[in-house]
A and B are shown apart, each in its own frame.
Chain A
Amino acid sequence: MKTITTPNGQWNFAKKGKRLFPAVLSGLMLFSCGDFESTPDDLLALEAQAKKSGLDPKEPGLIFAAALANGLKNENIRNFVFDKTQDQFDGDFNFLYFTEKDQSLGGPNSKSLTFAEAIFGDQSNFRSTESSLEFDPLMQVALRGNDNQLLSMEDLAPNTPVLYISPNQNLKTNPIVPAINSDGEVSEWDIRNVPDQPVLVIGQNERLVKVAKNSNARIAVEELCLESATPYFSDGTNDYYFFTDYFCGGGGIGGTPGGGSGGGSSGCDRDINSTWERLDRVKFTTMQELSDATGWQDGAPEVFFIVFTGSSQSNLAQIKKAVPKVDRSKWKDCGIFNCRTEWVFPENLEIFHWDKQNYSQIITIQWYEYDPGDSETEEKEVTYKDPITGIEFTRTETVVTSNNDEDLLMTPVEYCNDATGTDARIYTTGKIEFVLKID
């Protein structure tokens, strides 16, 4: 592993140590008829890295990533890319190459230069290969990294690394992807690690759904939903819809290119009400489960839970909360001959604010009953997937409990589950039941 320094800070890449950009630059500038004319040795680093990731070195997206990394030396390109990511057409810091490639780059000396020309060469000056590369219309340029850093960014650094995530790469089995920076270095990046500084990620947009214009093909999908929806863009043979329109779910976030409206409002309780999640009530499913978790001689149950939020930020990935300790009698209602379990209502036990941008749309809640004992560290492998870029990464979540804790098991909670009023969903693990509310 080698640490390299960028203007924004330090990067910890497993560096291949190959100079790429002289090769890519010469290749991009001198290629003819769609092929690089650079010497084969110059492309070895990229090819080797591509093969390591199980990719075809001639993948258009990979070539685009290399070209973009090189182009970031140009301030106009940097500004263009940064501005487009800030538009957040689908709610996140990304844009589609397909819809933006013909946009004017801007800048004092680039009035007539489009983004594609700036990246791949002006037709008047260079023989462009852009037309020979078949880019997936859903290929996007995304700005990724720590959320706080993304929000506070004002521009792109010239040496911002560009990662390429191929739609053909199985990130679960092979999480190493090529990373290229403008110094001409090809590196590799383990996408299970969140970079310390923002990076550009070339990948597939997953908030848009391709629907064939062919009427027969459209019948096969939710035609009724699409009737009232406007595609975000079309490429001649296909329309591309926000997935929320496609699945009749509403919740479209951005607008169409050129400022048109798109998407729609959502009916989820959590979309309408933005207050914090709170534990409304909790109870054991049966007296057996209560006694199994904590015998009467153990006194009051000490119930706590860990919320796995799916956040890529380590400080937000787990939220641990305890149900306020109440007397054992509050957990049950006993008559003369038998007992049944009772709901316990914690007062104002707020958990977190479920912001879809920061947390997964499905979280899991793991329940325990605390019993004193030695500290026990359990490591759970959790795979995360960025809902927008599709970046998958596995991280080891460390859960510290007591070795005597009673595992009351877990249940998932979906963002659009009812969370208000009397129809708020009651979740159960089989051992414990609970209700989350936001009203």
Chain B
Amino acid sequence: MRNYFLIFIFLGLSFESFGQALKIGIASVKESSFSNSVVQIDSVAAFEQTQRGETYLMPFIKSEWPLSERFYFSFGVQYYRSYLSLAARYTSESFPKNIPFISKGRSTSTNNFEFPLGFSYLLVKKNQVRIFLELSAVPVWSIQSFTPLDIDVPQGIDWTQEILDVINAVETIPNPFYMNYQYGVSMEYKRFGLTLFRTANMSRSISNDYQLYDQEYNFQRRIRSTRIGLYYSFGLKKEKN
């Protein structure tokens, strides 16, 4: 609720404070995660369950200032919630032969606040249709929301304190701040716009690494997303033909 509240605050700001044009919209984020890290602790292997296209919703606002006839400076805020899922696959000599391994897991969610800062280039302007090319650098603040699994252990042949600790340590992975870049194209007709852009990480990994029992393990992960959204543009100054 706190996150939605922040968005309403942004939306509630006076349009005059945003310059030439204010665009408000909502996008669908199709995000894929990539991780090549496996943390091996004794007979337990912990790894991220990589996602191949999870879809999230993302409200966004963006303000633009003209720098020249075709170049615009843009700044915006966009928010979405994503998930990081860690799995632990493990074996034990006590397991029966028909159970070579058992897998458990836990997810944590991050509330991602992104602040794209970049430029737009007006590529086409014909009648009331305008097409922009866009490129932005995007600082991202990720606020994590995690509920650890709390069960009595040991339990059965599958749950031990170690396994519980391993999957609850998913909490240590998300990095609270990282940088993205995004590029894309927007097409506007009158005040309605359709935008399509891709976002990727600037650095090789956005992980904070994996920490368990005061030991830090290298844990590389990246995310990439394709976003498509619709927006409405509030032009504060009517352009003169």
- Residues of A that sit less than 8 Å from B by CB: 285-286, 288-289, 291-292, 295, 297-298, 308, 310, 337-338, 360-362, 364, 381-385, 392, 403-404, 407-412, 414, 417, 425, 427-431
Chain B residues within 8 Å of A360, by CB: 96, 98
Q: Can you list 25 A-B pairs with a CB-CB distance of less than 8 A?
A: A285-B149, A286-B147, A288-B107, A288-B108, A289-B107, A292-B85, A292-B107, A297-B57, A298-B55, A360-B96, A361-B96, A362-B157, A385-B98, A407-B105, A411-B156, A412-B95, A412-B99, A412-B157, A417-B156, A425-B156, A428-B149, A429-B103, A429-B104, A431-B105, A431-B106
Closest Cβ of chain B to A296, distance in Å, is: 8
- Among the listed B1, B28, B53, B157, which residue makes an inter-chain contact with A414, where contact means beta carbons less than 8 Å apart? B157
Nearest CB of chain A from residue B95's CB, rounded to whole Å = 8
CB of B100 within 8 Å of the partner chain: yes
Within the complex, the shortest CB–CB distance from A378 to chain B, in Å, comes to: 13
Say yes or no: is B191 at the interface (Cβ < 8 Å to chain A): no
**Which residues does B use to contact A, with CB under 8 Å?**
1, 28, 49, 52-57, 81, 83, 85, 87, 95-100, 102-109, 145-147, 149, 151, 156-159, 167
Name 20 extra pairs, CB < 8 A, besides A288-B147, A292-B107, A297-B55: A288-B108, A288-B109, A288-B145, A289-B107, A298-B55, A308-B99, A360-B96, A362-B98, A364-B98, A364-B99, A381-B100, A382-B100, A383-B97, A384-B98, A407-B103, A408-B105, A412-B95, A412-B99, A429-B105, A430-B105
List residues of chain B with CB within 8 A of the CB of A381. 100
Q: With a CB–CB cut-off of 8 A, which chain B residues contact A408?
A: 105
Chain A's closest residue to B106 (CB) is A430
Q: Would A410 and B98 be within 8 Å (CB), given that A292-B85, A403-B52 are in contact? A: no
Contact among B100, B106, B109 for A383, CB-based, below 8 A: B100
B156–A412 touching, CB < 8 Å = yes
Contact A291 B98 (CB under 8 A): no
Chain B residues lying within 8 Å of A385, measured Cβ to Cβ, are: 96-98
Query: B104 contacts which of A392, A414, A430 (Cβ < 8 Å)?
Result: A430
Task: Select A362's contact among B55, B96, B104, B167, beta carbons within 8 Å.
Answer: B96
Of B81, B87, B95, most buried by chain A (CB within 10 Å of CB) is B87
User: Shortest distance in angstroms between A252's beta carbon and chain B's nearest beta carbon?
Assistant: 20
A404–B53 touching, CB < 8 Å: yes
Compute how far the CA of A364 lies from the CA of B151 in the bound complex, rounded to whole angstroms. Answer: 20
Which of B56, B102, B167 contacts A364 (CB under 8 A)? B102
CA distance A381 to B97 in the complex (A): 11
CB-based contact A288/B83 at 8 Å: yes
Contact B109 A292 (CB under 8 A): yes
Alpha-carbon distance A289/B83, docked complex (angstroms)? 9
Shortest beta-carbon contacts, A-B, top 4: A385-B97, A310-B98, A292-B83, A430-B104
- Residues from chain A with a CB closer than 8 A to the CB of B151 are 428
- Alpha-carbon distance A403/B51, docked complex (angstroms): 10
B121 CB → nearest A CB, Å: 32
A410 to B95, CA, bound (A): 14
Shortest C-beta distance, B142 to chain A (Å), equals 14
